[in-house]
């Protein structure tokens, strides 16, 4: 069997009622003839939407097929024991040219009860934000089911939601159950559990191309919503040159930010997981014992668990996210 190597994938593209052009214009990713691209799924094991390897001798293979063949060598023994042949993370770029629906995702427990796979906890790293750009994360006051339903019925939901102004580099952790929405003028990368379950609470009374409103999931959402009020929803971190700075640590993924000016050696011998690199700025050479690959802004690479040591060689200033399963 040939040796595993860092894997690139051909993205799966989604045009959306709220999508824009920045995945092409800012990230240089060609999404073909779609009128817009709301989402580019860079690494996906979601059923019906798998990404295919685009480099090396494994080109053309689906991600989950490779998990089935390589098991722990690809994802790590512990990860394989827990998730089987389903790759546990979905990595996306999202371009919001208009408000996304106000929505919520179920947790693992509720998803299992409803027989819809896993729950969906996610995080956002903001790549670009227009001056007035904002998003919704959680509630802006103490909340309960009854109060929430009153506002939903009166079409005054906005009054109880927490609107956050956003800028490049901001991070928001969105655990399952947290009500959220992206506003116009935001380009981001999203790291999430492998799940495509979204409960739409409110869609701004929007009409689609066929003159219809999109379906809402009022009842389904009710059991999923975490009504807890938090004083803070943004995640703080401080970048350090030539170091990996922890940004988000959750039961489902750990994400760090690497800011590079000089080559950096990475040792993953103690880690029983694959690693994903998402290149946010600049260009980079990833070097391992048997070869090297180039990465440019907007590219995502999966480092198999079998590769213990790497060297990251930047061209100029480079920023990338490092993601793995704890």
DSSP code at position 233: -
User: What residues contact residue 282 under an 8 Å CB cut-off, 6+ apart?
Assistant: 260, 297, 314, 315, 316, 317, 318, 319
What domains appear along the chain, each with residue ranges and CATH number? 9-235 (2.60.120.10), 243-324 (2.60.120.10)
Out of 114, 118, 178, 200, the active site residue is: 200
**Which residues, in sequence order, are CB contacts of 168 under 8 Å at separation 6+?**
126, 127, 128, 129
Which residues are 20's β-sheet partners?
A: 37
Neighbour count for residue 214 (Cβ, 10 Å): 12
Residue tagged 């989604």 (tokens): 14
The angle at the Cα of 76, spanning 41 to 287, to the nearest 5 degrees, equals 70
Q: What is the C-alpha to C-alpha distance for residues 272 and 21, in angstroms, rounded to an integer?
A: 38
- Tokens matching residue 110: 């509720």
**What pLDDT score was predicted for residue 2?**
80
Q: Known catalytic residue: 200?
A: yes
For position 1, what pLDDT does the model report? 57
| Tens-binned pLDDT, residue by residue, of the chain (326 aa) | 589 999 999 999 999 999 999 999 999 999 999 999 999 999 999 999 999 999 999 999 999 999 999 999 999 999 999 999 999 999 999 999 999 999 999 999 999 999 999 999 999 999 999 999 999 999 999 999 999 999 999 999 999 999 999 999 999 999 999 999 999 999 999 999 999 999 999 999 888 778 888 899 999 999 999 999 999 999 999 999 999 999 999 999 999 999 999 999 999 999 999 999 999 999 999 999 999 999 999 999 999 999 999 999 999 999 999 999 99
Q: Phi and psi for 112 in degrees, rounded to 5?
A: -65, -40
Helical residues (DSSP H) of the chain, grouped into ranges: 22-25, 63-70, 72-75, 77-83, 108-113, 145-153, 218-224
- Angle, alpha carbons 103-109-111 (nearest 5°): 50
Pairing of strands 161-165, 234-235: unpaired
Token pair listed for 92: 């996306």
Which positions ≥6 away from 72 have C-beta within 8 Å?
Answer: 79, 80, 272, 305
* H-helix segments, 71-144: 72-75, 77-83, 108-113
Read off φ and ψ for residue 251, nearest 5 degrees.
-65, -15
């Amino acid at each position: 069997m040939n040796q595993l190597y860092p894997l690139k994938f051909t993205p799966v593209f989604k045009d959306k009622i709220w999508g824009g052009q920045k995945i092409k214009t800012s990230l240089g990713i060609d999404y073909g003839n779609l009128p817009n691209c709301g989402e580019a799924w860079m690494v996906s094991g979601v059923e019906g939407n798998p990404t295919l390897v685009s480099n090396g001798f494994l080109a053309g293979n689906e991600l989950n097929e490779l998990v089935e063949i390589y098991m722990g060598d690809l994802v790590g023994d512990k990860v394989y024991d827990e998730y089987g042949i389903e790759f546990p993370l979905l990595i996306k770029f999202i371009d919001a040219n208009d408000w996304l629906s106000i929505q919520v995702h179920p947790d693992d427990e509720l998803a299992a009860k409803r027989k819809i796979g896993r729950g969906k906890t996610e995080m956002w790293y903001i790549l670009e934000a227009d001056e007035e750009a904002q998003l919704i994360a959680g509630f802006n006051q103490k909340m309960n089911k009854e109060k929430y339903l009153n506002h939903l019925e009166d079409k005054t939901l906005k009054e109880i939601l927490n609107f956050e102004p956003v800028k490049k580099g901001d991070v928001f952790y969105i655990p399952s159950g947290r009500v959220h929405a992206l506003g116009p003028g935001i380009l981001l990368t999203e790291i999430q559990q492998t799940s495509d379950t979204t409960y739409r609470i409110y869609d701004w009374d929007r009409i689609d191309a066929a003159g219809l409103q999109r379906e809402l999931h009022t009842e389904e959402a009710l059991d999923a919503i975490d009504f807890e009020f938090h004083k803070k929803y943004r995640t703080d971190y401080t970048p350090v040159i030539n170091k990996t700075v922890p940004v988000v640590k959750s039961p489902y993924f750990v994400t760090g930010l690497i800011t590079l000016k000089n080559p950096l050696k990475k040792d993953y011998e103690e880690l029983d997981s694959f690693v994903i690199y998402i290149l946010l700025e600049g260009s980079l050479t990833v070097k391992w014992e048997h070869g090297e690959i180039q990465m440019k802004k907007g590219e995502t690479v999966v480092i198999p668990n079998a590769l213990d040591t790497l060297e990251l060689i930047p061209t100029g200033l480079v920023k990338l996210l490092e993601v793995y399963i704890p």
